[in-house]
A = this chain, B = another copy of it.
Amino acid sequence: MHPLRFTAESSSNGMLERDFTVGDVPGVLWSPASGAVRAPLVLMGHGGGNHKKSPAMAGRARLLVTGCGFHVAVIDAPGHGDRPRTPHDDQEIAVMQRAMAAGEPVGPIIVRYNAHLAERAVPEWQATLDALQRLPEIGADGPVGYWGLNMGTAIGVPLVAVEPRITAAVFGQHWPDVLAEQAKLITIPIEFDMQWDDEHIPREAGLALFDAFASKEKTLHANGGRHKELPRFAATSATRFFTRHLN
């Protein structure tokens, strides 16, 4: 069992930012400036090619930390951010880039590579959650949510399927291949984002993944617009979803 080690600390505008490692996995824990207040925890999974402190992660963390008083943790996915790439990572990324350059569909490559990353990431998330729950401001019995779109969904769905400590999740923007079978095991409340005019993920694919969740409470938010045009209000809606379920 790896302990959580804090490696850096800063704060700005009411938000405390603490870098940490659990084993060789680097992460960041954002908390209310007061720091030590016991509060719900939201784990966030970043998108493909991105990292734990990308603007999307920092922006969503701010909504949850300063808006709701929650703690938010993000770790770098395998091969992402401050983590080394394996030869397999390099190879898959090269295949993806060639497909993009040739204007060929990247969906099947992303699905395959993300499934591989999820196998590595799920146990890392579980070890990270073990370590985070030993912090007094989080605790072993506090509410835990998960929020991740794109690759964050590819890693989050198998994580939530095996992790009973997570009791509410926001997913979206992924293909149902691989994930639909895992989604059928999930019964916690779900909010699911898709883009109605996504040029990468066919509409039927997004609807099929949403349909697969066994959750009694699940809501699909389908926004007009292309893949990258997810509106800002999707994030404020997710924040309210977590407020409703983790408080």
Contacts of A244 in B (CB 8 A): 233
Task: Output the nearest chain B residue to A233 by Cβ-Cβ distance.
Answer: B244
The SS class assigned to the A binding surface is mixed
Number of interface residues of A (CB under 8 A): 21
Q: Interface-forming stretch among A72-80, A89-97, A209-217? A: A209-217
| Inter-subunit contact B222/A222 (CB<8 Å) | yes
Task: Output the nearest chain B residue to A222 by Cβ-Cβ distance.
Answer: B220
With known contacts A222-B210, A237-B237, A217–B196 Cβ distance under 8 A = no
The yes or no answer to A218 lying at the interface (CB within 8 A) is: yes
Alpha-carbon separation in the docked complex, A160 to B222 (Å): 22
| Inter-subunit contact A219/B215 (CB<8 Å) | no
Min Cβ gap A168→B in Å is: 13
Enumerate 14 A-B pairs (CB-CB under 8 Å) in ascending A order. A196-B220, A216-B224, A218-B223, A219-B221, A219-B222, A219-B224, A219-B233, A220-B220, A220-B222, A220-B223, A221-B221, A222-B222, A233-B240, A237-B237
User: A interface vs B, CB < 8 Å?
Assistant: 196, 207, 210-211, 215-225, 231, 233, 236-237, 240, 244
Alpha-carbon separation in the docked complex, A236 to B225 (Å): 24
Min Cβ gap A13→B in Å is: 23
Contacts of A233 in B (CB 8 A): 219, 240, 244
| Inter-subunit contact A215/B220 (CB<8 Å) | no
Contacts of A207 in B (CB 8 A): 207
Alpha-carbon separation in the docked complex, A210 to B207 (Å): 14
Alpha-carbon separation in the docked complex, A223 to B215 (Å): 11
Alpha-carbon separation in the docked complex, A215 to B196 (Å): 12
| Inter-subunit contact B218/A224 (CB<8 Å) | yes
Q: Which 10 A-B pairs have the closest CB atoms?
A: A220-B222, A218-B224, A219-B223, A219-B221, A221-B221, A217-B224, A216-B224, A215-B224, A220-B220, A233-B244
| Inter-subunit contact A220/B218 (CB<8 Å) | no
Contacts of A240 in B (CB 8 A): 233, 236
